[in-house]
Amino acid sequence: MTETSDLLKFGISIAQDEKIDEVIAQRTKGKGYQIRFSNSMIDNSKIWRDDNLELFLAKGKKSTYLEIEAPTQAKIRSRIKDASKFLERLPDSFLYNGMESNQHEYEKLNKLYDPKIMDFSDKAPELVNAAIQASLESGAKKVAGVLYFGRSETELSTSYGNEGLYLGSYYRFTIRSFVDPDSSGQGLACSRNLSGVENDFLKAGNNAGEIAKMAIGGTQGTPGKYDVIMSPTVAANVLGQVFDGLNPVKIMVGMSPLKYEHVGKQIASKEFTVIDDALLAEGLGSRPFDVEGTPKGKTPIFSDGVLKGLLQNTSTSNMDKVENTGNSTFFDFGIGSKFLAPGPSNIAINGGDYTLEEIIAESKKPTIYITSNWYTRFTNMTEGIFSTIPRDGMFLIENGEIKKPVRRLRLSDNLLRICSNISAIGKDVKQIYWWEVLTPTFTPTIKVKDCTITAATQ
């Protein structure tokens, strides 16, 4: 018995004393660091000492969620008593249809934790400065970025007797190099394992510097129809909008381009195969169980372009009368209280047969290669109509060769059309997790035909 499991059991027993039917108690303790840098110098080094207890309480079809920071028995007793009174005054919710009630043993995912994380803070500033230096040496004039790293211990206990614990370590590194204000490139690296982290940082720094150099002298691009090559960073963001929509709650409120009638149909190119994989050793979203205590595993999403199903938890699978995929999360709309709803763990897109060089060489039609993007927004989420803004090096390809760097264009298209127009998939699968991609996504370079590229008119 750990101190945490005692505290979780205490919370469950207090809730049961308050006549709560079902309880989830999950505590996450950890220490996280961030080193931010810009102008080739470290700007701020941060330390977060986190200790957060999340509680989900259900009585019949009424449910509520609360968080208790730095939990103590006194805080837990008082907050649960308040929450119990609050819960009594909520109406039944049709969204709540039960939680995991079967008992489970969980797979041990030992690779999620690397003990080297314990003393990583001693050398992290030095490694960041070395990566900055590498980028400067590869041609950058100034470098900005961020390194996150840390460790966390997550322990779960539910009123159905499910108990689990896992340790995690992580780092994620973003480096953006500028040769001049308009010529920039970005490099990313992330993992749970710190083996080879020095080289990963240097490689990311070098990549960023190389793209920035290639972007020198870029000119205003011409709007029109192009094939588009999305780097893994861009593919993770753009296709990530589709994967976020695998949630039945999002479909219900109109925040997804996916529809129930898409399930079982081919809505993407045949080359497109994707799974939600919670067991990837390197995956920053890996975990042995979801927040209800359902064991996690691999869930097919797209198989040869066919949408195999949505992500589910107990409530939505009961509503949809399908299998629970073990994807329960504490979910919110970005504003307001959390509730139980499905969400992705790690998205893994199957790699294809091509190198980036081969994809470029095969691009005989005018093609735009986008290395990074941001600010993806929708005109209509159910229709999938969106635009996103390329940033960093962007290149026009003609007759199989990079012709010149281009600037100030916008990818304005439709998500479903993009899925069905995938024309080539690279073999360079890479985990992407950064400011614009908050679901860890393993993706290669992806080429899409006939995309709409727009630009400012004046």
Subset of residues 245 to 264 that bind another protein, contact rule: CB under 8 A: 252-255
When asked if residue 386 is in the footprint of another protein (CB under 8 A), the reply is: yes
| Cβ distance to another protein smaller for residue 361 or 389 | 389
When asked if residue 90 is in the footprint of another protein (CB under 8 A), the reply is: yes
| Cβ distance to another protein smaller for residue 233 or 273 | 233
**Torsional sign, CA 406, 409, 410, 411:** negative
295: nearest Cα among 152, 159, 103, 442 = 103
Instruction: Name every residue whose Cβ is closer than 8 Å to that of residue 291 and which is 6 or more positions away in sequence.
Output: 24, 26, 54, 56, 156, 328, 329, 330, 340
When asked if residue 339 is in the footprint of another protein (CB under 8 A), the reply is: yes
Binding residue (CB under 8 A) for another protein from 4, 154, 186, 367? 186
> Considering only 154-162, 172-180, 228-236, 281-289, which stretch makes contact with another protein by CB under 8 A?
172-180
| Cβ distance to another protein smaller for residue 39 or 110 | 39
205: nearest Cα among 194, 195, 213, 216 = 213
Q: How many CB atoms lie within 10 A of CB 458?
A: 2
When asked if residue 319 is in the footprint of another protein (CB under 8 A), the reply is: no
> Considering only 159-167, 190-198, 304-312, 385-393, which stretch makes contact with another protein by CB under 8 A?
385-393
Binding residue (CB under 8 A) for another protein from 144, 215, 230, 236? 144
**Sequential DSSP letters for 296-320:** P-EEEEEETTEE------HHHHHHH
When asked if residue 219 is in the footprint of another protein (CB under 8 A), the reply is: no
When asked if residue 391 is in the footprint of another protein (CB under 8 A), the reply is: yes
When asked if residue 61 is in the footprint of another protein (CB under 8 A), the reply is: no
CB of 189 to another protein, least distance (A): 13
Q: Torsion angle of alpha carbons 24, 278, 248, 172, nearest 10°?
A: 90
Report the distance separating Cα 421 and Cα 365, nearest Å.
Answer: 15
CB of 108 to another protein, least distance (A): 29
| Cβ distance to another protein smaller for residue 127 or 235 | 127
Per-residue burial over 294-325, b if 16 or more Cβ lie within 10 Å, else e, is bbbebbebbbebbbebbbbbbbbbebbeeebb
CB of 168 to another protein, least distance (A): 17
Q: How many CB atoms lie within 10 A of CB 278?
A: 25
Total residues in contact with another protein, by rule CB under 8 A: 92
